[in-house]
Amino acid sequence: MRQNISGGSPYEPIIGFSRAVRVGSSVHLSGTGPVGADNEDAAGQTRRIFAIAAEALKQAGASLNDVVRTRMFLTHVEDWEAVGRVHGEFFSNIRPAATMVVVAQLLNPAWRIEIEMDAVISGSTTDK
């Protein structure tokens, strides 16, 4: 069964997306920007994204401990280490597969980082 999780964005129905989608034991989190942290540095923006992601995962019955993959999109290559350190604060023991790439720009020019996540909820009846 499919569960769409809204992040409350007014653009969700216009664009046709959900903050997260759960199907069975899998949760896919859309690219998440640091909404409300436009004036923060890259580390602060990354922490804001983790707060937003944790809430969406919780609504899907998951947590950051269930994350198996992250994709990080940076607008400034020099931010890689600061973003990587914050990623490590949350995932040093979990160690999901991770990708970090530099892009020209994100939807909001003030954003230095956007992150996607995929999670698999352990203990689900669909686990093998």
Reading the chain (128 residues) residue by residue, the pLDDT tens digits are: 999 999 998 889 999 999 999 999 999 999 999 999 999 999 999 999 999 999 999 999 999 999 999 999 999 999 999 999 999 999 999 999 999 999 999 999 999 999 999 999 987 444 43
- Asked if the structure places residue 126 within a domain, the reply is no
Domain that holds residue 14: 2-120
- Asked if the structure places residue 125 within a domain, the reply is no
Supply the pLDDT for residue 122: 86
The total number of structural domains in the chain stands at: 1
- Asked if the structure places residue 128 within a domain, the reply is no
Supply the pLDDT for residue 125: 46
- Asked if the structure places residue 92 within a domain, the reply is yes
- Asked if the structure places residue 45 within a domain, the reply is yes
CB-based burial of residue 38 (10 Å sphere; 0-12 exposed, 13-18 middle, 19+ buried)? middle
- Asked if the structure places residue 83 within a domain, the reply is yes
36: domain CATH number? 3.30.1330.40
Cα-Cα-Cα-Cα dihedral of 86, 50, 42, 71, to 10°?
A: 80
- Asked if the structure places residue 44 within a domain, the reply is yes
Helix (H, G, I), strand (E, B) or coil at 64: helix
- Asked if the structure places residue 89 within a domain, the reply is yes
Cβ-contact 103, 73 below 8 angstroms: yes
Q: Residue 32: beta bridge partners?
A: 115
Q: What pTM does this model have?
A: 0.92
CA angle (92, 93, 95) in 5-degree steps: 70
